A and B are shown apart, each in its own frame.
Chain A
């Protein structure tokens, strides 16, 4: 039975059939109104509930993740801060060990200098010249009355005068000699004073350095306390620092990858001489894979070297090794790196030799090809390639530092990104829940719109019935009152 046959079941006229069908459908829809409303309500309530629950779960997960992110951020911040404080204490320890350990010696030195200065000072004190004992006798003789006629007295006085003059000159000379000696002693004291001044300045410098370091420790302790207390400032600072670290480390890693690619090109071609040029493994030339493996081994050795030097902290096992073992590891990794760098320099040389051989062969095979021109200047490129081949492995060692920062920062960045994604998803589910709620109402109203005629009739009927009911008691009451 086709659709048109069903459609024209009641009448041959399409219009009459349409009217009959419409009336039937509306009548059936009116009869099924309540169950249909219940169904709409059930379906859309279910959808809304499911979306709301999903949204709630996502919000809960987001909160937990944000909390975990904060914990990780704080833990990382604490660790970094502890590391810095540890380093500061190491520096203070170095200052104390190196400079203040010399303090007893310095103290002894200063005491010696002070003693020497004291002794010199005492020696340099001025001693007044003694008055000659016979001056009183001279006074007595001088008081003897003299006459011009007594030549004896005159001679005696003359003699005394001469003796006095000689004695005066001698005393003066002695005094001058003593003064000179005193001045010499004072002059000798001058370098001692300077020495003491220098020593004291040195002590002052050491103490100032110590004070400066202690101020830095105070500042870092303050930051550490803020982190421990999980203040908003500390969280913001740590988060911003992680993002900066992520981008800076990513940039440096990109540069390192560029260096590794240059290194790869330097050794891939000559590797064909060692492992063959046509062997393939998983669709890649074995020579290329070997070159890549060498570079990766260099990077791995670089990581171990940096770990052993305690510059990075990616492998706790290495950091917790005994010092002797760690030092052995430093030498072993450095030895392997040196060997690999030498191998790379050799390969770079081989690359140049092969390039020359290729150029010569092409020149002999193809008359229009460029010959091996400028062979005399080839040593420059050869030397440059060998130099690069030797230096790049050591340069790749330092990849460990940005790699560590990148790994640590990526945890925070990925956490932030995951939180944002969860928040966005929760928002989407909330939107869906609201949409489901409104869609339920919309469907119910649309259903009622289709059967608005019977509904209108029903409402009219109900109104009429209500009016009838409300009119009867009022009339009775009025009659009673009357």
Chain B
């Protein structure tokens, strides 16, 4: 009888050990802020989106905000980052500190000469892979017009399986108004790049639909 009990317990333990890994329910959001040229005027909107995202994220989730400038594939461009504590009270404290950092940045931001969106996305992918979160989302707050400094190579295939890439507040440039095909081609180019990297592309210009992006 004792042997039988031992066998049953051992089998249960082995079954428990060999069973599939528990699903990761945490969320990771990496937000890129375009700081090139006149787009810095749109940063107030970005601030609202960041606050909204902070309000919706739960303990255990990860959130980072980075600027897009001349060379964005760098940790130096991270404005604020946090993996929220398991305890709700500590997570709330972290959210307050996060907000303060973003507020300071928005006040002191200086426009950059170039817009390295690809570098920012690569940095975001690297950050979220390290964070080991369940659901990965990259928010791009930009007009999606990439301008690279001479010598910078960004013709790189993106590898982002399972990522949700959401372009927010994609404003139309003057040239887009002259020829709307430019705007459409730009969006299509980014969609193709993301989907070629096995990511899921989405454009949200109406901020009221943002809730679905964060919660989904």
Contacts and interface: CB of A to CB of B under 8 A. Distances in A.
A354 B86 contact: no
Most chain A CB atoms below 10 A, which of B48, B55, B96? B55
B65 to A, nearest CB: 14
Contacts, number: 61
A292 B88 CA distance: 19
B86 A276 contact: yes
Given A276-B87, A278-B25, A354-B88, A365 B51 contact: yes
A157 B95 CA distance: 135
Most chain B CB atoms below 10 A, which of A277, A278, A361, A365? A278
A280 B55 contact: no
B86 A357 contact: no
A272 B52 contact: no
B88 A358 contact: yes
B46 interface: no
Given A277-B60, A357-B92, A361-B92, A272 B55 contact: no
Interface of B: 22-23, 25-26, 48, 51-52, 54-55, 58-61, 86-89, 91-92, 95-96, 99
A272 B87 contact: yes
17 contacts: A272-B87, A273-B89, A276-B59, A276-B60, A277-B60, A277-B91, A279-B60, A280-B22, A281-B22, A283-B22, A357-B89, A358-B92, A364-B96, A364-B99, A365-B95, A365-B99, A366-B52
Contacts of A367: 48
Given A277-B91, A278-B60, 13 more contacts: A272-B59, A273-B87, A277-B58, A277-B87, A280-B22, A283-B22, A283-B23, A358-B92, A361-B92, A361-B95, A365-B52, A366-B51, A367-B48
Contacts of B91: 277
A182 interface: no
Rank and list the top 6 A-B pairs by shortest CB-CB distance, nearest first: A278-B60, A276-B86, A277-B59, A365-B51, A365-B55, A273-B87
A362 interface: yes
Given A280-B25, A361-B96, A365-B51, A354 B58 contact: no
A280 B51 CA distance: 27
B60 to A, nearest CB: 2
A280 B91 CA distance: 17
Contacts of B96: 361, 364
A358 B95 CA distance: 11
B16 to A, nearest CB: 10
A366 B214 CA distance: 15
A279 B88 CA distance: 13
B100 to A, nearest CB: 10
Interface string A261-304: 00000000100110011111111000000000000000000000
A366 B92 contact: no
A361 B58 CA distance: 13
A358 B88 CA distance: 9
Nearest to A273: B87
Contact of A272 (B48, B51, B86, B99): B86
Contacts of A365: 51-52, 54-55, 95, 99
B55 A362 contact: yes
Contacts of A272: 59, 86-88
Nearest to A353: B89
Contact of B88 (A277, A362, A366): A277
Contacts of A273: 87-89
A272 B60 CA distance: 11
A418 to B, nearest CB: 30
A269 B87 CA distance: 10
A369 B48 CA distance: 12
A359 B54 CA distance: 13
Nearest to A277: B59
A283 to B, nearest CB: 7
A274 B104 CA distance: 33
